Amino acid sequence: MLMSSKLAPTIDPVLGESRLSDIAPIFNLIQNGSLNGHFSNLYTRPRYMAGLGIQLFSLCKNGRIKLPDGTWHQAKMKVLRVGGDFAGFVILRHDAHQPAESEIYMCGLENDFRGQGLGEWLLGAALSEVPVGHTVFADCLPNSVQMKTLLMKLRFDEVKLPASAQISSLARRFAYHVT
């Protein structure tokens, strides 16, 4: 399991299933991240904000997410709690057409919990649930320097994609092969 060993002894993180009460803090974390360039800035527009709320509800209740191209995919939304408080989340999307592939669709950590090794712990715990033989992808926008650094630390490799396959001309894709 890829979990950080440098957590302070007083930190006892727990990764669990999302609850309806987690939708608001996840929504707010994505909104704030969008304003800082960590997520698409489309999530700052009312139409997309409404869609995001519906997506989070669908994920929480049905374990499914609808992508911009209109396709539905199985996904898991896991929540990180520290001392019972919401600290962050990760959404892992699974592609039915590519059963040995998954994607870190979104991941975020509250500011108060940064710099404590919890981001590494969160992704390590999420990756430990992915079956051996899978490839996990993650796309990073340029302002997501911390995420890119974390992915490299967790042994993700940068994948060169043709411009037509990128989520943005500046986004970078990373891949991790679960062994």
Domain of 154, CATH number, reads 3.40.630.30
Would the pLDDT of 176 be above 70? yes
Would the pLDDT of 22 be above 80? yes
Task: Indicate whether 6 belongs to any domain.
Answer: no
Distance CA 57, CA 175 (A): 28
Task: Indicate whether 5 belongs to any domain.
Answer: no
Task: Indicate whether 86 belongs to any domain.
Answer: yes
Tally of domains within the chain: 1
Residue percentage of the chain with pLDDT more than 70: 89
pLDDT tens for residues 28-55?
999 999 998 888 889 999 999 999 999 9
Task: Indicate whether 4 belongs to any domain.
Answer: no
pLDDT band at 4 (very low <50, low <70, confident <90, very high): very low
Higher pLDDT among residues 53 and 162, named by residue: 53
Higher pLDDT among residues 143 and 100, named by residue: 100
Q: Are 118 and 87 in contact (CB under 8 A)?
A: yes
What does the radius of gyration of the chain's CA atoms come to, in whole angstroms?
15
pLDDT at 167: 56
pLDDT at 6: 64
Would the pLDDT of 23 be above 90? yes
The residue-averaged pLDDT of 134-145 equals 90
Tokens 């049905």 locate to: 62
Select from 101, 88, 159 the least CA-distant residue to 135: 101
Task: Indicate whether 64 belongs to any domain.
Answer: yes
User: Range of 121's domain?
Assistant: 13-177
pLDDT at 171: 79
